[in-house]
Structure 1
Amino acid sequence: MIILYTFISEANHQPLLDRYLPVFSQESKQNILRYRRWQDAQLSLLGKVLLEYGLKTYYNISDIETDVLTNKKPYLKGNDLHFNISHSKNLVTCAIAEYSLGIDVEFNDQKISYQDFIFQMTDKELQEIQNSEDKMKQFFMYWTRKEAVIKAHGAGMILPLDSFEIINNECHIVGEKFFTKEIFIHKEYHSCIASSDQKIKEVMPIIKYIEEDILL
């Protein structure tokens, strides 16, 4: 598994658009340009760019075509590799593996209060957070695990966070078992990966920062 990440830059926004929009599909162009804020547009663009860069650099795959399943989860057409993209604040990351997975990153926003999200937690999860010495760190661990599992499952917003419980980095969703693993990408962000394949419990992913200049 490889995990690539980079940060958005306003100075590089137009050069990135000039470089990649002409080679992206019409659908990808529309998805990127529909955003009003340059930050959102660039996060979307860089997710696709990191995917292409990762496939070409680490798997020698140049021509890729993506599509979405009926549950809206994206996949690579005609290829056994899997990928997932996540972004938060100024960071965007792309994970690529030989098995289905989900990745979630969350900015360590100290303005957030875990009490605002109590309605999305089970009683046991809430107790775990409240009993922790660092409640906000525990909250972000809870949040990234849940989001990574939802993305690995592919259910999206139709699966409430409090509808399943992760214990010892494992959980069940409608008879399917999922595993989670916390990873470190950047000190200002919390991050986690998840998969229905238990290989993820032991995996030591290659985590690489890609400077935007390399992508231009």
Structure 2
Amino acid sequence: MEAVKVEIRYLDTVEWQQDTAHNFTIGDEIDVWRIKTADHLSLIAQLIKLLMPDEIKRAERYYQEKDRQRFIVSRAALRTILGRYLGQQPEDLRFEIGPNKKPFVKTTGAAINYNVSHSDEWVTIAVSKTGVGIDTEKIDRSFAYKEILADNFSGDEIRFINQSNPEEKFILLWTRKEAITKLTSQGLDERIKNIPCLDGNHLTNSNIINSPKAIKLVSFRLDSSNLATLAYESKDAIAIQFRDIDLTSI
């Protein structure tokens, strides 16, 4: 087993830039995109045309209409954003399943990594040359979080959560554990309790996080009710660009 460094920090402020200022090239930075589902409901009939038949079937399996709409916006946004990076039409992109069932987009050009998360009214998409994982969660103050603390968090983490504003602290730490598991495609299993998620620098075993590579986590707010965490593989800090996209322009 290897010792792996995990660095975790929280951004107090985030500046969201409009997509019109971006040239959609795969540079050295990581792009984090934010899409608000409610702003695109009038486009559902147009957006669904960008999806493949299997994606449409997945959308139809959602019981609640709001979940179906969010899925359509999420997939259309992913196709639109990746299409711009790759110089392809959104509907022409093809996705395949890689190791540990992690999806990837087929391309003959530069490698592109991405990850998607959605919660409440938001969809978040991380795009980078390096491996990325992202998780977004709504701060649900009615959720019975105390029932799952012992199985999923260490003693220090539980003490941190049980300070002031525990519901928000629970969601913050949960997004961090989720972001790592999405980055490494390990899924939520019995190792989750040992995945570090408090601010600062940590050393953990490579088998705990399912990766021999150093990992950095950056947490931030989408709005007053939603938190997100980005995880990426790198020994050094990578610049992160936070971007809004409006699909009404497609």
Q: Under a length normalisation based on structure 1, what TM-score does the superposition of the two structures give?
A: 0.83
The residue number in structure 2 matching 1:180 is 217
The residue number in structure 2 matching 1:64 is 93
Range moving further from structure 2, 143-152 or 89-98: 89-98
1:9 lines up with 2:55 in the alignment:
no
1:28 lines up with 2:55 in the alignment:
yes
Aligned counterparts, 1:79-158, within 5 A: 80-118=111-149, 119-130=151-162, 132-158=163-189
Provide the rounded CA distance (Å) in 2 between the counterparts of 1:68 and 1:159.
24
Provide the rounded CA distance (Å) in 2 between the counterparts of 1:188 and 1:112.
14
Structure 1 residues 41 and 198 mapped into 2: Cα distance closer, same or farther (>3 Å)?
farther
Q: For structure 2, which runs of at least 5 residues remain unmatched after alignment?
A: 1-29
In 1, are the aligned partners of 2:139 and 2:226 still within 8 Å (CA)? yes
1:115 CA drift (Å)? 1.3
1:136 CA drift (Å)? 2.6
1:127 CA drift (Å)? 2.1
Structure 1 residues 129 and 11 mapped into 2: Cα distance closer, same or farther (>3 Å)?
closer
Give me the identity figure in percent: 19
In 2, are the aligned partners of 1:164 and 1:172 still within 8 Å (CA)? no
The residue number in structure 1 matching 2:18 is none
Provide the rounded CA distance (Å) in 1 between the counterparts of 2:46 and 2:158.
46
Provide the rounded CA distance (Å) in 2 between the counterparts of 1:145 and 1:169.
14
1:92 CA drift (Å)? 1.2
Question: RCO (CA 8 Å, sep 6+): is it higher in 1 or 2?
Answer: 2
Structure 1 residues 136 and 92 mapped into 2: Cα distance closer, same or farther (>3 Å)?
same
1:124 CA drift (Å)? 2.2
Provide the rounded CA distance (Å) in 2 between the counterparts of 1:179 and 1:10.
32
1:75 lines up with 2:104 in the alignment:
yes
Q: Under a length normalisation based on structure 2, what TM-score does the superposition of the two structures give?
A: 0.73
Query: Number of paired residues?
Result: 210
